[in-house]
Structure 1
Amino acid sequence: MTPDAVQAFRQRYRAQVSPHYSAWLHGLFVFGLGLAAYGALLSQVRLALWWQWLAAPLGLLVFNVAVYLVHRELGHHKRSWAALFYARHTGDHHSFFSEREMSYDSWLDWRVILFPPWLIVVYLAAFVAPSVWIISALVDANTAWIFGAHATMGYLLYEFFHTCHHLPDGHWLSKLPWLCEMRQLHRLHHRRDLMHTHNFNIVLP
């Protein structure tokens, strides 16, 4: 998309945003609930053994693999049962940001960067809670709590990194080595000729 086309889409998108929308409340809800859940899950751990802590990187890895697959298969390939997600991602997000127009202009634009606030509630209820229950039954409680906590942290890292990828050029966070590299990969993902085939990860290369 040309810069003019992107700006025209942004104007149309912003015109549809509720006047009551608050980027700060949006971010506070997502990160506040996520951090509270992370802390609550970890608070249940009791004298964990070293091998039980291996569930921490496993939880992060499982989340990142799941995000990669969902992003690739549902965000960039239209399925009838996931049409809303496709429309919001390919239709809105990739029209709002192009490889030459990657930065947000106002706080209202966080609405097209962050996941909807309700999604973290669904994620905690539909994935994290059942995962904790199943792992507790199959392995042990400590492993389950640690896995659940870090599957939750994976969600928060995704939201944080993705927001950083759309920060204004020159922002100090965008210069940090890991973030800088992932930001460049994400910029390539926003190229129209590459977005359906390349760089679906947000946190890991």
Structure 2
Amino acid sequence: MDNSMDHTVDNPHAIPDKTQAYREQYRKENRSPNYNGWLHIGFTLSVALGIIIYCSLSLNDVTPWEWLTIPVTFLYANLVEYVAHRYPMHRPVKWINIIYQRHACQHHRFFNHKAMAFKNSKDFCVVLFPPALIVGFFVVFALPVTLLINFLLTTNTALLFMITAFAYFINYELLHTAYHVSHQSWLWKIPLMRKLRKLHYYHHVPELMSGYNFNITYPIGDLLFGTYYSKEK
């Protein structure tokens, strides 16, 4: 396998015909003509930042033990990211099969190791979570867990959980979006960003995608569970 960063991503003529055909089909069938990628990412950041700011302003006399909620939640979020990506996103589960369809069957056909970059901001919809899923994440996952933590522990602990969870979510969305910009971007002059992007690049190799590099952000889960893959020393 070629160990160099992909160089086809900025040249539409270098994208494989099959991939290009699917991209055109996806844009026609799954993207509204009025879709605006910058409004989409703006909505995501506004909702998450609004929750973070509200929870931060609600903190009161946080104790040293309560501050430990931040690293614990960070690790928990990383493992949730890993499990969700490794299983329902890459293995069909009957009652949430839409997640598998959207990720493995659409995202991985739109982007592969020979065509990793967006054409323009209108392709953001292939990477970002839909607004409905963001609201669903808050109502179904974040809010009940927060209420349970508030009941079992303290209000500050619950608020710090929310702050860290949504900060991690922002981190996830921004990193994943960044991985699919041009290989000529200034971002890839930053060693850590280049390293993380290369790990995601390997995940988009069809032969590797179902077995390796399931962390989108930081490869903690991949290192723990033996699914880390890199050809770099």
Deviation at 1:23, TM superposition (A): 0.7
Q: Percent identity?
A: 36
Alignment of 1:56-75 (within 5 A): 56-75=70-89
Q: Identify, as 1 or 2, the structure richer in helix.
A: 1
User: 1: distance between equivalents of 2:215 and 2:108?
Assistant: 15
User: 1: distance between equivalents of 2:194 and 2:118?
Assistant: 17
Q: Which residue of 2 aligns with 1:115?
A: 129
- The runs of 5 or more residues in structure 2 that have no matched partner are 1-14, 220-233
Deviation at 1:140, TM superposition (A): 0.9
Deviation at 1:180, TM superposition (A): 1.3
From 59, 62, 82, the counterpart of 2:96: 82
From 123, 136, 139, the counterpart of 2:153: 139
Amino acid at match of 1:113: V
Q: Which residue of 1 aligns with 2:39?
A: 25
Deviation at 1:175, TM superposition (A): 2.6
From 129, 144, 162, the counterpart of 1:130: 144
- SS of structure 2 residue aligned to 1:114: coil
| Deviation readout 1:97-129 (Å, 9 max, x if unpaired) | 011211111111101010111111111112221
Alignment of 1:1-205 (within 5 A): 3-16=16-29, 17-205=31-219
Deviation at 1:130, TM superposition (A): 1.4
Runs (4 or more) in structure 1 with deviation over 2 Å come to: none
CA contact (8 A) 1:165 1:174 kept: no
Deviation at 1:62, TM superposition (A): 1.4
User: 2: distance between equivalents of 1:176 and 1:188?
Assistant: 19
- SS of structure 1 residue aligned to 2:32: coil
Provide the TM-score with structure 2 as the length reference.
0.84
- The runs of 5 or more residues in structure 1 that have no matched partner are none
CA contact (8 A) 1:59 1:154 kept: no
Q: State the aligned residue count.
A: 204
Note the aligned Cα RMSD (angstroms): 1.2
Q: Which residue of 1 aligns with 2:3?
A: none
Deviation at 1:178, TM superposition (A): 2.0
Amino acid at match of 1:135: I
- SS of structure 1 residue aligned to 2:115: coil
